[in-house]
Amino acid sequence: MPLPKIATPTYELELPSSGETITYRPFLVKEEKLLVLAMESDDTKSITRAIKEVLKSCIKTKIKVDTLPTFDIEYLFLNIRGKSVGEEVEVTVTCPDDGKTEVDVTIPIDNIQIQKSDEHTNTIKLDDTLSMTMKYPSLDEFIETNFDVSSKGTQLEQSFSLIGSCIETIYSEEEAWPASDSTKKEINEFLEQLSSSQFQDIEKFFETMPKLSYDVVVTNPKTKKKNTVVLEGLASFFG
């Protein structure tokens, strides 16, 4: 006689990027083992791969995890983790006033949200005739550019690579050039034509991009001074 199946609850969550409501379940012991092994490897690509595999297993709604923006993936994973192992995360923060005293803080996961900047826009006006629309980098693109030690090229070349992969369309009033119709070389040659101020406008898209963020207020037990520590990105909350 086969053993009984254990019922797993499902929950709903709204994607920060699109507002789409998705259904998900907590991760199971087998998935927790996968995450623990990845974390113990201390290899960023292994951790990324494990997080994506867990998301693909736990999300019941049909979505393409590989194409989700980084902040969607972080928000999804944090909430799935919350329903799986506890509604709070414990983090250790260093007090900025002396730069060395560490304080343990417990944060309710429901309080950690995606912060959006009023300055953020995915439309960049290059000059009086040309503009660009941008798309958010996927987790793979973000990891490859920022953390993959095997990536070759200078920091500027890697920056070009990330920006090039996130250009959606270049357009004027009369014509549009989808980036998908251009080669990587053509995109790079276009970017090389930009002025420093135009390039900075593009970089601002990434700097103001929505991000997982939470302000922790702690009192230094040694100096008695109150400090505010800003936690950003999934790694800050991964306990």
One pLDDT digit (tens) per residue for the chain, 239 residues: 787 777 788 999 999 988 999 999 998 888 888 888 887 777 777 777 888 888 889 999 998 888 888 899 889 988 998 888 788 888 899 999 998 999 999 999 888 889 988 999 999 999 999 999 999 988 777 666 555 545 555 666 777 888 998 999 999 999 999 999 999 899 999 999 999 999 999 999 999 999 989 999 999 999 999 999 999 887 777 65
Of 60, 54, 81, the C-alpha closest to 12 is 60
d(CA 138, CA 104): 32
Phi, psi of 168 (to 5 degrees): -95, -55
How far is it, in rounded angstroms, from Cα 219 to Cα 103? 8
Report whether 145 contacts 162 (CB < 8 A).
Answer: yes
Residue 149, pLDDT score? 47
pTM summary value? 0.79
Give the pLDDT score at 236. Answer: 79
Q: Give the model's pLDDT for residue 145.
A: 56
**Distance between alpha carbon 68 and the CA centroid of its chain, in Å?**
9
Confidence at residue 148, expressed as pLDDT on a 0 to 100 scale: 53
* Ordered alpha helix ranges (H), 91-221: 139-146, 155-166, 184-192, 196-207
- Please report, for the chain, the start and end positions of each structural domain, with discontinuous segments joined by +: 1-86, 89-111+214-239, 123-207
Q: What sign has the CA pseudo-torsion 179, 183, 188, 193?
A: negative
- What are the residues whose beta carbons fall under 8 Å from the beta carbon of 124, sequence distance 6 or more? 131, 132, 133, 134, 201, 202, 205
